[in-house]
Amino acid sequence: MPNRDKSGKQKHISSYYKIENGKLKRLLPICDRCGPGYFMADHGNRYTCGHCGFTKYKAVKNSSEKNSKERIYSSD
């Protein structure tokens, strides 16, 4: 039977970890303010802590990705 909290909702703890070579690997970062046990939610371009509200933005990989999001209008 899956783990459930007091309200009867199923816990999704297994979605936070992955087993590689017999060791657990965390899939989401841990909140810098709250410490271990508080994972940050993945929201596309940022990670957010649901406990304290701390937000960490993801780094842009290429400058071409950043430029592709900007719209350049010509006056032709």
pLDDT in tens, 4-43: 667 777 777 777 888 899 998 988 999 999 999 899 999 9
- Domains: count for the chain: 1
Q: Is residue 6 part of a domain?
A: no
Whether the predicted model's global pTM rises above the 0.85 cut: no
- The answer to whether position 8 is within a domain reads no
Could you list the residue range(s) of the whole structural domain that residue 57 is in?
33-61
Residue 72 included in any domain:
no
* Helix segments in the chain, DSSP class H: 63-69
> What letter represents residue 74's amino acid?
S
